[in-house]
Amino acid sequence: MASPRVSLPSLDFPPGPLYLCDVAGQKTPIDYAANVARLCRRHPEMGPCQYARDQCRLAGGRVFTQRGEEVTRAVEDEYDRVVRRVRFRADGGGASAAKAAPKAASKGAGTAPAHPPAR
């Protein structure tokens, strides 16, 4: 079953910090290096942008754009879907992927050596 699409925050960022971290009602800007800020203005789904937002959440905060739009975990999941990012979890979630590997091998895939010979 397909999940409903999430409404993504606007990419029309005003000047200044891209995001604010709200911890217990106190909002502080999420600071990026200048080159990362430029990247995040165009592609907020990229890893360095997401990492800083995740750090806010790990501190118990919520992430908002300057326009007041919340960047929820569902938004992050949609960003992951957009870039087809795969996350491996230590909770055993990778077991199903491991079971799929033998099936692929039985179809003739994976017959090449794992590493090319050293020269």
SS (H, E, C) the chain: CCCCCCCCCCCCCCCCCCEEEEECCEEEEECCCHHHHHHHHHCCCCHHHHHHHHHHHHCCCEEEECCCCECCHHHHHHHHHHCCCCCCCCCCCCHHHHHHHHHHHHCCCCCCCCCCCCC
Is this model's pTM higher than 0.75 or not? no
pLDDT number for residue 91: 74
Per-residue pLDDT averaged across 69-92, rounded?
82
Task: Select the highest-mean-pLDDT range: 51-65, 76-90, 104-118.
Answer: 51-65
The answer on pLDDT for 86 being more than 70 is no
pLDDT number for residue 112: 46
Range in 46-50, 66-70, 74-78, 101-105 the model is least confident about: 101-105
pLDDT number for residue 117: 53
Q: pLDDT digit string (tens) for 21-59?
A: 999 999 999 999 999 999 999 999 999 999 999 999 999
